[in-house]
Amino acid sequence: MSDIALKPIAAPAPIPVGQILPWAVFAGLMLLLAIYFVGAEEGATSLFSGSYVHEFVHDGRHLLGFPCH
């Protein structure tokens, strides 16, 4: 006979939705803000004057498939 005893495997504790929800909302808003700046911050929909934001995210626009010129 063997003297080996198996230890019970501890199950991970579930994370309550109330703790995840604020971070998920925050991440979603940041994602929408990033998509706006990459996709629509130019021309008539521009929030900032000049083309500084457009030039800053220019390569990201092309990488994500947004036309800009």
CA contacts within 13 A on the Cβ side of 38: 14
Q: What is the pLDDT of residue 2?
A: 62
CA distances from 61 to 28, 43, 50, 68 (A): 19, 15, 17, 7
Q: What is the pLDDT of residue 26?
A: 98
Domain ranges of the chain: 17-64
Instruction: Return d(Cα 48, Cα 30) in angstroms, integer.
Output: 18
Positions in the chain whose pLDDT score sits under 50? none
Instruction: Return d(Cα 69, Cα 60) in angstroms, integer.
Output: 14
Q: What is the pLDDT of residue 21?
A: 94
Q: What is the pLDDT of residue 11?
A: 86
Q: What is the pLDDT of residue 45?
A: 72
